[in-house]
Amino acid sequence: MEQSAETQSKRLFSLDVFRGAVMFLLIAEAAGFHESFAKLTDGTPFSFLALQVQHHPWNGLRFWDLIQPFFMFIVGVAMPFSLRKRVATETRWQATKHIFRRCFLLFSFGILLHWVYSHSPVWELWNVLVQLAFTILIAYGIMNQSYRFQIGVSVALLIFTEVLYRTYNPAAPYAQNHESFGAWFDMLTMGKTNGGYWVFVNFIPTAAHTIWGVVCGQLLLSKNSEKQNLKSFLIWGTVIMALGFSMDWLEITPIIKRIATTSFTLASGGICILTLTFFYWVIDVQDYKKRWLVIFSVVGTNSIFIYLFSENLIFCGRRACLTP
């Protein structure tokens, strides 16, 4: 059954629900659920679940490490839908100006959040919004090209990342220290490194998440049948995820979220595609559009506001805890 033009012109409800679910997870963190759950399960057989809502300290993958990839991937999926709507009433140049303006705002909001964290103007580029501003620009710059070209660029970005890290420190390219290419680039651009080992240059490999999202969005807007899209998503999601985990298991490149290694980008990217497949199949293909899902959709359509709200709420909560 092919998708009708009417269906293609509407918002993808499953995508809004997917995005809303991710936002609710961020709200839960802001509300202190993660810390409360960790205390509640401490010393019990369920304590391993509490670890899943915390970032892995280095080599490994936990559920919470998927939140940023989900965020960047979902933005990519939404881009073809948003652009299609805009070019129907605007020129391509107007749509491009909108993208640049949005990226500038994302970059600015990311910088301002670090000002809030530090209580003073600082030049820090580790925030996800800053990263997203760059990945959107990269993905938008090539989204009019063929699927093969876009995927080729994403692969090139991953290979480029491997080359940068391995060339800079051949002996220990992914060691947990401040002697990696990412740390060097942070010193070059910000004059400092991050105590948690996060690096600004993560936007290069994670641009693949946004690019893959764009390709998935374009497939959903194509004349492909729902069955064809589901088959493509299942195959490619599984292959990409398996490749990422294989690189880690074979000790080629470790899965490290904090510096977005290629294996992490592949493993998490594959999971993103498979998660979209699940939401798309259940909600759009099986037409499971219950009223209770609307709240996720509403939250999903206001994702940037929710993110800013949750980040400020988390910060204020931590500050209150530290205040005697």
Question: No. of H helices and E strands in the chain?
Answer: 14, 0
Opening angle at CA 236, ends 67 and 127, nearest 5 = 25
> Where residue 2 falls among pLDDT bands split at 50, 70, 90?
very low
pLDDT, tens digit, for every residue of 262-318?
Answer: 999 999 999 999 999 999 999 989 888 777 777 777 776 666 766 666 666 555 554
Reported as half-sphere exposure (CB side, CA atoms, 13 A), residue 22 has a value of 28
Tokens coding 178: 């401040």
Asked if residues 265 and 135 have their Cβ atoms less than 8 Å apart, the reply is: no
C-alpha span between 53 and 295 (Å, rounded): 22
* Averaged pLDDT for residues 242-254: 97
Q: 67 near 77, Cβ under 8 Å?
A: no
Query: What would the mean pLDDT of 195-224 be, rounded to a whole number?
Result: 96
* pTM score, whole prediction: 0.90
pLDDT 10s digits, 137-193: 999 999 999 999 999 999 999 999 999 999 999 999 999 988 999 999 999 999 999
CA 159-263-272 angle, to 5 degrees, is: 110
Give the pLDDT score at 161: 97
- Residue 198: CA count within 13 A, CB half-sphere: 16
CA atoms of 271 and 159, how far apart (whole Å): 20
